[in-house]
């Protein structure tokens, strides 16, 4: 337990983490309420994560976000978890609770708020979801709650697709491997890239005929990692092509509300980040 005199500390853990905008976003949230937030980025791989998190708690750490590749480890390290973290099997927000950590997942809420901002309602629509990792799981549960006509999950590792499809318990869920995408029938209203392939600079390609005329294409990543998917989406004729910056800001706002009991405004912060 941190000593009562210690200043509460917050951090984001991940690897790589130097690019993270989270420290800036939380500082801007704090400024809205006149709170000086001590929120840092801590570079940590999977092997050192448990030790680094314990050291953080000893030094006054009371709240943490985790990103690639630590979400499954964070899930396992938590003594208790929120219902939504339990449901999607992923944790991105840790809150100190006595001598232990409580886990939550704010990715789904962040994604939903950004879809709303973009004016997209998934009810009755056909959705293609690329990826079945931690973030894809949070997004998939959010999407099925909106009652789409179909959710097609495309992922490299077949077992992960099958496990997610089972967990969703939704009649309109299907799965396939990337090599089968070319054989899919019909057009999709929403294509979500929830793979981390863009971080390694992988080129993105799908048949353009898969897009409905007013389709929204959404990449969870942002910056250079989203470039190839967004270029494909525009070339393929998507009505809207969006990166995941809005989701990032809104999932951070949800974490901030969990820790500080106050919900920041996100629109101005998103605009400020886009202007940089």
Q: How far is the CB of 194 from ligand NDP (least distance, A)?
A: 5
**Taking CB under 6 A as the rule, which mask of x and - marks residues 49-88 in contact with ligand NDP?**
-------------------xx-x-----------------
Among 133, 148, 175, 264, the residue binding ligand NDP under the rule CB under 6 A is 133
Q: What is the C-alpha to C-alpha distance for residues 105 and 3, in angstroms, rounded to an integer? A: 27
Task: Please report whether residue 89 would count as binding ligand NDP according to CB under 6 A.
Answer: no
Task: Please report whether residue 26 would count as binding ligand NDP according to CB under 6 A.
Answer: no
Using the contact rule CB under 6 A, the part of the chain among 28-36, 39-47, 79-87, 196-204 near ligand NDP is 196-204
Given the residues 9, 26, 71, 113, the one annotated as active site: 71
Q: What is the C-alpha to C-alpha distance for residues 116 and 13, in angstroms, rounded to an integer? A: 28
| Cα 76 to the center of its chain, rounded Å | 18
Q: Which is nearer to ligand NDP, 157 or 265 (CB)?
A: 157
Number of Cα atoms under 13 Å in the Cβ half of residue 60: 12
Task: Please report whether residue 197 would count as binding ligand NDP according to CB under 6 A.
Answer: yes
Stretch 93-112 residues interacting with ligand NDP (CB under 6 A): 107, 110
Task: Please report whether residue 157 would count as binding ligand NDP according to CB under 6 A.
Answer: yes
Active site residue 239: no
Q: How far is the CB of 137 from ligand NDP (least distance, A)?
A: 7
Q: Where are the beta strands (DSSP E) in the chain?
A: 9-14, 39-43, 61-66, 80-81, 93-97, 100-104, 126-130, 150-154, 173-176, 188-193, 211-219, 240-242
Nearest to 19 by CA among 210, 182, 199, 161: 199
Strand order in the sheet with 188-193: 173-176, 150-154, 126-130, 188-193, 211-219, 240-242
Among 74, 144, 210, 220, the residue binding ligand NDP under the rule CB under 6 A is 220
Task: Kindly list the distances between the CA atom of residue 185 and the CA atoms of 55, 68, 128, 152, 177, in Å, as whole numbers in the listed order.
Answer: 52, 33, 12, 11, 15
Point out which residues bind ligand NDP (CB under 6 A).
68-69, 71, 107, 110, 131-136, 155-157, 160, 194-197, 199, 202, 220-221, 225, 244, 247-248, 251
């Amino acid at each position: 337990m941190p000593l009562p005199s210690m200043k509460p500390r917050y951090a984001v853990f991940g690897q790589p983490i130097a690019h993270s905008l989270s420290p800036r976003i939380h500082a801007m949230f704090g400024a809205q309420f006149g709170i000086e937030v001590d929120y840092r980025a801590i570079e940590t791989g999977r092997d050192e994560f448990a030790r680094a998190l314990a050291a953080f708690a000893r030094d006054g750490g009371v709240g943490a976000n985790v990103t690639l590749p630590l979400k499954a480890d964070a899930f396992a390290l938590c003594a208790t978890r929120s219902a939504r973290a339990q449901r999607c099997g992923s944790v991105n927000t840790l809150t100190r609770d006595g001598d232990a950590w409580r886990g939550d997942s704010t990715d789904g809420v962040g994604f939903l708020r950004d879809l709303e901002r973009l004016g997209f309602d998934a009810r009755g629509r056909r959705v293609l979801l690329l990826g079945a990792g931690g973030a894809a799981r949070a997004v998939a549960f959010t999407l099925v709650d909106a009652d789409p006509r179909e959710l097609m999950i495309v992922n490299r590792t077949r077992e992960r697709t099958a496990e997610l499809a089972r967990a969703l318990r939704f009649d309109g869920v299907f799965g396939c491997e990337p090599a089968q995408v070319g054989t899919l029938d019909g057009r999709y209203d929403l294509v979500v890239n929830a793979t981390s392939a863009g971080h390694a600079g992988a080129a993105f390609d799908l048949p353009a005929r898969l897009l409905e005329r007013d389709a929204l294409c959404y990449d969870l990543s942002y910056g250079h990692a989203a470039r190839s998917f967004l270029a494909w989406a525009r070339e393929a004729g998507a009505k809207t092509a969006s990166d995941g910056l809005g989701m990032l800001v809104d999932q951070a706002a949800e974490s901030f509300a969990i820790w500080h009991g106050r919900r920041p405004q996100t629109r101005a912060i998103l605009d400020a980040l886009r202007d940089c």
